[in-house]
């Protein structure tokens, strides 16, 4: 397999500066909890949150839907039983990519079923231009991409390539 660079590290850093400014403006003065979806959003969340100068809480939720394949399996698996206490908080869900929408839809449904947040918004590094299996859109997106399989900057193929500093398209 070969990879071509879709977004170099410098372009990602510049876009994160812009996103951080938007998020800081929106969440200033609000009780914010960031809910990072693991493992994919780890790099994105770390780099983005260091750019947001607000007193926020960070929680993580381990969720999987690809299970080692090139496409979403259609099955969303929660790796933990309990959600963090989000009652009375503004919640910003961070994820690496919005593809089918299944993972983020499952997370949002579970949040509203089990907790009482003031508001829930979604920020993703990448948003695919495609029809979604679930009716969900991101409130904030770093970049829009075609329907390609991407790796790097937290995104993986079978657990590998998350450590690449840029986003690449994985090509056979």
In the set 95, 96, 99, 156, the catalytic residue is: 99
Select from 3, 2, 9, 43 the least CA-distant residue to 166.
Answer: 9
Active site residue 87: no
Number of neighbouring beta carbons within 10 Å of residue 153 = 26
88 near 31, Cβ under 8 Å?
Answer: yes
Gyration radius of the chain's alpha carbons: 15
Catalytic residue set: 99
């Amino acid at each position: 397999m070969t990879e071509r660079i879709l977004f170099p590290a410098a372009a990602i850093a510049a876009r994160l500066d812009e996103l951080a400014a938007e998020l800081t403006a929106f969440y200033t003065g609000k009780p914010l909890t960031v809910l990072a979806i693991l493992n994919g959003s780890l790099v994105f969340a770390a780099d983005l949150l260091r750019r947001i100068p607000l007193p926020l809480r960070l929680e993580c939720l381990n969720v999987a839907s690809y299970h080692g394949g090139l496409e979403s399996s259609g099955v969303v698996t929660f790796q933990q039983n309990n959600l963090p206490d989000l009652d009375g908080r503004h919640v910003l869900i961070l994820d690496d990519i919005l593809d089918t929408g299944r993972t983020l839809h499952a997370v949002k449904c579970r949040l509203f079923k089990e907790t009482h947040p003031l508001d829930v918004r979604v920020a993703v590094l990448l948003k695919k231009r495609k029809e979604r299996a679930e009716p969900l859109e991101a409130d904030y997106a770093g970049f829009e991409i075609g329907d390609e399989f991407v790796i790097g900057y937290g995104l993986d193929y079978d657990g590998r390539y998350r450590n690449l500093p840029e986003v690449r398209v994985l090509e056979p």
